[in-house]
A and B are shown apart, each in its own frame.
Chain A
Amino acid sequence: MSLAFDDYGRPYIILRDQGQKKRMKGLEAYKSNILAAKAVANTLQSSLGPKGMDKMLVSPDGDVAVTNDGATIVEKMEIQHPTAKLLVELSQSQDAEIGDGTTGVVVLAGKLLEQALTLLDKGIHPLKISDGFDRACDVAIKHLESIAEEIDIQANDHEALIQAACTALGSKVVSKRKRELGKIAVTAVLDVADLKRKDVNLDLIKIQTKTGGSVEDTRLISGILIDKDMSHPQMQKEVTDAKICLLTCPFEPPKPKTKHNINISNAEDYKKLYQQEQQYFIDMVKLVKDSGANIALCQWGFDDEANHLLLQNDLPAVRWVSGTDVELIAMATGARIIPRFQEITPEKLGKAGSIKEVQFGTSNERMLVIENCQCTKAVTILIRGGSQMIVDEAKRSIHDAICVIRNLIKDNRIVYGGGSAELACALQVLQYADEVSSVEQYAVRSFADALEGIPNCLADNCGLNPITSVAQAKSRQLTEKNPRIGIDCMELGTSDMKEQKIYETLSSKKQQIQLATQVVKMILKIDDVIAPDDY
């Protein structure tokens, strides 16, 4: 840590506990930050593309997760370096905004940083670099929009959507069943989509996992699946034409929040109290029954007596339904969530075609399926698989696919994958570079190189020779004026991504380039890091 000294050679103390803090500044800080961020990008690099590999992550408690989803990997790596953490947030914001392309965005940021490092070595000022990157980014985005194509999502039984979902699923462990899973995801999204408003509420798609069977057994339930069973073992296991009473109050005597004491001083009171207590249960059940409900779902627990009274009144009931499920059921069945027994009215009941209990495997686990809901808007995807890790990964993959489809419904413009869009942008940026007369020219050119890094990385992961295949694709793009030429990762014999049907959404690609550039700019602006020594 550099210090200022007075005439007697004593250091000036500027920061509190200066001796215990570490400080890096200038070039040293830039380089350290870039290297740390690059280390993260390097880890993710091999997960990119259809032949990307997975990462095994062991949590602090020893739980194992295997995944290839960028956002999940960086989140579970528990990164502590402050700059590297920026990349974690980068990946997560891509996940939150778009849901897919979380690996790509980090890899791109890594490539940009790599380029920045060489530029720094050349002695170019960081701000000039970030300025150049900014300009190049604008050019790339503009070009991306010009090469984007609109697709008809309705045509041919939503074929385009399925293909886009397949592209998203192609890099995952479930890629073998990508067609089936893609279809499931498309049907699920279309079931809940509001095509007029071009909006999809993803909360309406519930993804439930259950180990056992195989990924092929994954299916779509046009209704809601809740991991609960009837509160009393002898209640009916199936209710048709269900009228659902959705309660958020327990079948128990009321527990007022204010502290109070009821003092009993004689036997008379004691008896009265007992009777009143009995009356509570009878009233509760009566109120539910009188409203015409034939099933009660409750967020809280039941008293034994209430439970039996429900059974006696042929009123099947489910207890401890989770809050999110309650909301979902309310949306799907049109039920109102009822917080007090007194407020139960027939209008507030939800309606569903059937509710039944289904059983899995040998270990006696049961779940409830609510089907044919009044407002059939909610759907459930039940994911099966050989082990917990597989179903978890399948869940993440399907989530990605669902996000892609949602983005397509919002904005039906696509670009082609396989690195073709990046290559096309790189060529455009390169052309633009020559027009820039200042120092930024070098940064713009480097930006193009960084974009090229994506197809490069794809080719590398697929076991192709990265330099030859990227060079080939580049020259073909130029000579054939075809921005759809990319890397033939699956070795299908054609490099035209339109023929291979590798669709990626324009919004995802745009977001990737913009976010990556932003983060790189941010990292390039840090010239001083002050941290406690033991950090």
Chain B
Amino acid sequence: MDIVGNVLPQVLKDEATEDKGEMARLQSFVGAIAVADLVKTTLGPKGMDKILKPTGPGQEMTHITVTNDGATILKSMYVENPAAKILIEISKTQDEEVGDGTTTVAVLAGELLREGEKLIQKRIHPQHVIAGWRIARDVALKTLRDISSENDIESQEFHNDLIKIARTTLSSKLITSDRDYFADLCVKAVLRLKGSSNLDYIQIIKLPGGTIRDSYLDDGFILKKQITIGCKRRIENAKILVANTAMDYDKIKIYGTKVKVNSMDKVAEIEAAEKEKMKHKVDKILKFQPTVFVNRQLIYNYPEQLLADSGVTVIEHADFEGMERVAAATGAEILSTFDAPERRDQVLGHCDLIEEIMIGEEKMIKFTGCKKNEACTIVLRGSSIHILDEVDRSIHDVLCVLITTVKNRRVVWGGGNSEMQMAAACEEEAKKVQGKQALAIEAYARALRQIPTIICDNGGYDSAELIQNFKVELQKGNLSSGLNMNDGTVGDMKELGIKECMRVKEQAVMAASEAAELIMRVDDIVKCAPRKRERA
């Protein structure tokens, strides 16, 4: 390392790189916009799906995923570009927080950066752009809150709102043709929760076979397990004991214990003691007088036989979630010790009927008339597992949106209405602001307007004309107008019944602005040398 002249000594590690100023900015813009463009085509009712193929040898054609859920697409992509990673991150957060709008948030952030790039090219300092965006964001959020409406949670209007929101959310998914059916189904499921936001109570079972139309909501609870052979297949007025205990053999939990014997007789003795220990446990269980015994762990033949002999129906190896659901639905306590049979009434769960049913070709156990009626099951049918997976994701989105709506209760018109109104408000604001920030506010408005534009484009309509007409309609005072994606016109959202959850939009606008700002502020990217991995 010789420094004759002004050759900089190497400061960073060998493979590390540093990009500064314009180069850094360019790199993040390119990355973020590329990601946004990638998911852009899935936006709206006429959006297209993507096939995700896993990498790795031997897996190319198995486990493919077909989806148009933004979060799923972005999650499965491996990107190098740090700015692109930020976009993926906000999409994930959107998914966790409100469950829907995952594409919108990434596209909006991408569009903001696209507009930002233009401003930077006009030699406007990034900090000025950010200052403008901040003003615009506040205006947009205020507008969003102002245009939203609220209905009482008990009222019929609110129920209708929920159905409309579910329909709107579903309209961009695979099952759009059956959206009325599914909207009704999801709303019913969510209303059963009575305001609680615990999605655990809604179980989704996917079974290939039949058509999507054959899916249904079951008001009972379905456990994807079989009743052990030799037990009754139908129990009325069941008393259920839910347990999480070892029923194979009881491990000795005291550390360092070893069984050492010196004769065959002793072995037999120990074996008998072991058996007796198990019998003792079964006896204790029987003192609770259950008619059904559900255990999380597997049950060996011996205790199973003992239980079956006493007329108790045994269900073994229920998975943890399933067991929690059974407990929640039937009001049972999950037991691990069995020394207090006098608490029988408190710990046993109850339901009117347990029976083994056949869905398609699979046997399942159905609990109907449970003590706590919040739980329910959505049984999804469809011709292939890929379709089912996608329907599952769609239903999950809808349920999340509905739960968010139940919590927040505020709704806005769909069809790009809220974005256009927010954009209009931003443009109004831009007229009042002095300085360069105004340009950024206008840019923000353009980015918002890109969302309906992309929806139009995806539908194959003339977006330039439609959006202009839309603008005019709003200007005229038809505040409920929006895009009618069925005939490619501007219609009245009130008539079409297209509504969206305000919270989803709010979160999307907030998260996209934050992410865009974060990326905009960067003027230097340092990439450390990648960690060397030993290849196995």
Contacts and interface: CB of A to CB of B under 8 A. Distances in A.
B85 A53 contact: no
Contacts of A260: 256
A58 B510 CA distance: 25
B526 A76 contact: yes
B294 to A, nearest CB: 14
Contacts of A176: 134
Given A264-B259, A389-B86, A233 B334 contact: yes
Interface residues of A, number: 89
A57 B16 CA distance: 11
A462 B521 CA distance: 13
Given A211-B96, A307-B336, A277 B253 contact: yes
Contact of B256 (A51, A54, A259, A365): A259
A305 B245 contact: yes
Nearest to B17: A58
B11 A79 contact: yes
B252 A60 contact: no
Interface stretch (A30-38, A395-403, A419-427): A30-38
A359 interface: yes
Contacts of B515: 386-387, 390
B470 to A, nearest CB: 28
Contacts of A212: 93, 96-97, 507
Interface stretch (A150-158, A249-257, A431-439, A499-507): A249-257
Contacts of B55: none
Interface in A13-71: 22, 24, 28, 31-32, 35-36, 39-40, 43, 46, 51, 53-62, 64, 66, 68
A361 B408 CA distance: 12
Given A57-B528, A308-B337, A66 B126 contact: no
A264 B261 CA distance: 7
Interface stretch (A105-113, A268-276, A477-485, A510-518): A268-276
A2 interface: no
Interface residues of B, number: 92
A266 B266 contact: yes
Contacts of B95: 362-363
B12 A56 contact: no
Contacts of A31: 3
A434 B219 CA distance: 91
Contacts of A68: 521
A385 interface: yes
Interface in B47-103: 80, 82-83, 85-86, 89-90, 92-93, 95-99
Interface stretch (B146-154, B197-205, B384-392): B197-205
B343 interface: yes
Contact of B524 (A56, A80, A262): A56
A36 B11 contact: yes
B269 A266 contact: yes
Give the dominant DSSP class at A's interface.
Answer: mixed
B335 interface: yes
Contacts of A312: 333, 337, 340, 343
Contacts of A43: 18, 20, 524, 526
A304 B250 CA distance: 12
Interface in A288-330: 303-305, 307-309, 311-312
B98 A361 contact: yes
A208 to B, nearest CB: 16
A53 B522 contact: yes
A64 B85 CA distance: 7
Given A56-B24, A389-B89, A262 B254 contact: yes
B521 A60 contact: no
- Give the 6 A-B CB pairs with smallest separation, nearest first: A308-B336, A386-B511, A53-B523, A60-B531, A212-B97, A267-B273
Interface of A: 22, 24, 28, 31-32, 35-36, 39-40, 43, 46, 51, 53-62, 64, 66, 68, 73, 76-81, 84, 173, 176, 211-215, 232-234, 252-256, 259-267, 270-271, 273-274, 276-277, 280-281, 303-305, 307-309, 311-312, 359-365, 385-390, 393, 462-463
Given A265-B266, A463-B128, 8 more contacts: A36-B11, A54-B523, A56-B82, A215-B514, A234-B334, A267-B273, A386-B90, A463-B125
